[in-house]
């Protein structure tokens, strides 16, 4: 099969592209490298360095499906720079849908997010839960999901939206090369805690300890990037014309920020200083997934589901393989 992977120069897209190549498929990456890097595009994939808004220049009838990862991802930043989030995420998805329709490409797998739910009324969060994003980032993803739903209804697109919870960890490919998280600038809790453990930062700044959670810090559901990538391969097979399938992807276990920091300290063996600061705007208190639907309908079986394994793989990549 031939796939277009938008955002394939980023963390998750480059790992899914690697796995698609390992399965023998052809992969074209469309990425403007605004937050990703050309170096991360796996050998064997072709990189077209353009914004997703110009997907029409790349897509033609030879593609079997599109996996759409491209976009801006930091919920905190989306509160201070909403315009660039609406442009990259929502306008980007609109342009991609236009280009797919024009080129008669019928299958889409989209990177949606837990951030569409906002502060949930019930945990674990099921797909039918109310959508009330607390960040502009979440709103841009929810509006993209809605545009995809309309495209499915009106034009018979086969679409799957995967709502990832917090993606962490690293993937060691069949050639022994590690691929992992290396955002620039980094905003995510685990790599930032590694910066503190390795002395790159003097301390770890924890955003808020007055949330309505057991220890006062936010609770998140972490998913290993390789388990997440497996779900994409299953989603490609499950996509059906005229259906918009939606799956939450997490492990159903909530870890507080304090617990995550303690795990990083234990795995790295370094006891770095932690400074409690104010809340970060846009952060919901608790996000924990119910992924029963993905397990039942896709046959998804996460196998790297302990926080220790996720942090250990991420640390392996952080220490030895980051480019």
Ligand X SMILES: O=c1ccn([C@@H]2O[C@H](COP(=O)(O)OP(=O)(O)O[C@H]3O[C@H](CO)[C@@H](O)[C@H](O)[C@H]3O)[C@@H](O)[C@H]2O)c(=O)[nH]1
Ligand Y SMILES: NC(=O)c1ccc[n+]([C@@H]2O[C@H](COP(=O)([O-])OP(=O)(O)OC[C@H]3O[C@@H](n4cnc5c(N)ncnc54)[C@H](O)[C@@H]3O)[C@@H](O)[C@H]2O)c1
Region from 33-41, 128-136, 153-161, 269-277 binding ligand Y, contact rule CB under 6 A? 33-41
Contacts of 59 (CB under 8 A, 6+ apart): 4, 66, 99, 100, 102, 103, 105
For position 36 contacting ligand Y by CB under 6 A, the verdict is yes
Say how far apart CA 226 and CA 180 lie, in whole Å.
10
The interface partner of residue 161, options being ligand X, ligand Y, none and the CB cut-off 5 to 8 Å by kind, is none
Asked whether position 88 contacts ligand X by CB under 6 A, the answer is: no
Q: CA-CA distance, 39 to 321, in Å (whole number)?
A: 12
Q: Of ligand Y, ligand X, none, which one does residue 192 interact with (CB within 5 to 8 Å by kind)?
A: ligand X
Binding to ligand Y (CB under 6 A): which residues in 88-147?
88, 92, 111, 113
Q: Which two tokens stand for residue 124?
A: 């674990």
Give the residue with the Cβ less far from ligand X, 94 or 207.
Answer: 207
DSSP string for 125-153: BPTTS----SSHHHHHHHHHHHHHHHHHH
Cis peptide before 185 (omega within 30 of 0): yes
Give CA–CA dist 22/191, Å, rounded: 27
The b/e string for 272-284 (b: 16+ C-beta within 10 A; e otherwise) is bebeeeeebebbb
> Residue 220 binds which one of ligand Y, ligand X, none, with CB within 5 to 8 A depending on kind?
ligand X
Q: How many CB atoms lie within 10 A of CB 297?
A: 13
Name the phi and psi angles at 198, rounded to 5.
-95, 0
Indicate whether 13 belongs to the interface with ligand Y (CB under 6 A).
Answer: yes
Name which of residues 6 to 65 contact ligand X (CB under 6 A).
Answer: none
Contacts of ligand X in 96-115 (CB under 6 A): 113-115
CA angle, corner 82, sides to 78 and 87, nearest 5? Answer: 110
Q: And the tokens for 159? A: 């679409």
Candidates 27-35, 235-243, 271-279, 293-301; binding stretch for ligand Y (CB under 6 A): 27-35
Q: Which residues are catalytic?
A: 137
**Interacting residue with ligand X among 218, 264, 288, 294 (CB under 6 A):** 218
- Which CB sits closer to ligand Y, 146 or 270? 146
Tell the smallest beta-carbon distance from residue 152 to ligand Y (Å).
19
The nearest distance, CB 118 to ligand Y, in angstroms, is 14
Does 280 engage in binding with ligand X (CB under 6 A)?
yes
What character string, x for contact with ligand Y (CB under 6 A) and - otherwise, covers 41-80? ----------xx----------------xxxxx-------
* Tokens 């220049």 sit on residue: 57
Helix ranges restricted to H, 31-180: 75-80, 82-85, 92-103, 136-155
Q: What angle do CA 106, 244, 75 make, to 5 degrees?
A: 105
Min dist CB 316 to ligand X, Å, is 19
List of residues contacting ligand Y (CB under 6 A): 6-7, 9-13, 31-36, 51-52, 69-73, 88, 92, 111, 113, 164, 166-167, 183
List of residues contacting ligand X (CB under 6 A): 73, 75, 113-115, 165-166, 187-189, 192, 205-207, 218, 220, 257, 280, 283, 287
């Amino acid at each position: 099969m031939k796939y277009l992977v938008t955002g394939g120069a980023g963390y998750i897209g480059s790992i899914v592209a690697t796995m698609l190549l390992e399965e023998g498929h052809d992969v074209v990456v469309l990425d403007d490298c605004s937050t990703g890097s050309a170096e991360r595009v796996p050998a064997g994939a072709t990189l077209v360095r353009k914004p997703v808004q110009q997907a029409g220049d790349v897509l033609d009838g030879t593609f079997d499906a599109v996996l759409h990862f491209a976009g801006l991802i930091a919920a905190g930043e989306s509160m201070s720079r909403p315009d660039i989030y609406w442009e990259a995420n929502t306008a980007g998805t609109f342009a991609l849908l236009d280009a797919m329709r024009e080129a008669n490409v019928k299958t889409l797998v989209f990177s949606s997010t837990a951030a569409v739910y906002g502060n949930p009324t019930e945990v674990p969060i099921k797909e039918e839960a109310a959508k009330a994003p607390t960040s502009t980032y979440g709103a841009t993803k929810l509006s993209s999901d809605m545009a995809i739903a309309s495209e499915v209804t009106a034009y018979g697109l086969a679409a799957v939206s995967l709502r990832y919870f917090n993606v962490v960890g690293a993937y060691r490919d069949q050639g022994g090369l590690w691929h992992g998280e290396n955002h620039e600038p980094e905003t995510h809790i685990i790599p930032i805690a590694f910066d503190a453990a390795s002395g790159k930062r003097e301390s770890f700044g924890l955003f808020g300890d007055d949330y309505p959670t057991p220890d006062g810090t936010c609770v998140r559901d972490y998913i290993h990037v390789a388990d997440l990538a497996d779900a994409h391969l299953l989603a490609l097979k499950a996509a059906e014309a005229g259906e918009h399938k939606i799956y939450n992807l997490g492990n159903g276990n909530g870890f507080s920020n304090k617990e995550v920091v303690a795990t990083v300290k234990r795995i790295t063996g370094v006891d770095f200083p932690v400074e409690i600061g104010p809340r970060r705007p846009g952060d919901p208190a608790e996000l924990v997934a119910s992924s029963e639907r993905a397990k039942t309908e896709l046959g998804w079986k996460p196998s790297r589901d302990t926080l220790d394994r996720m942090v250990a793989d991420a640390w392996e990549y952080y220490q030895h393989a980051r480019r």
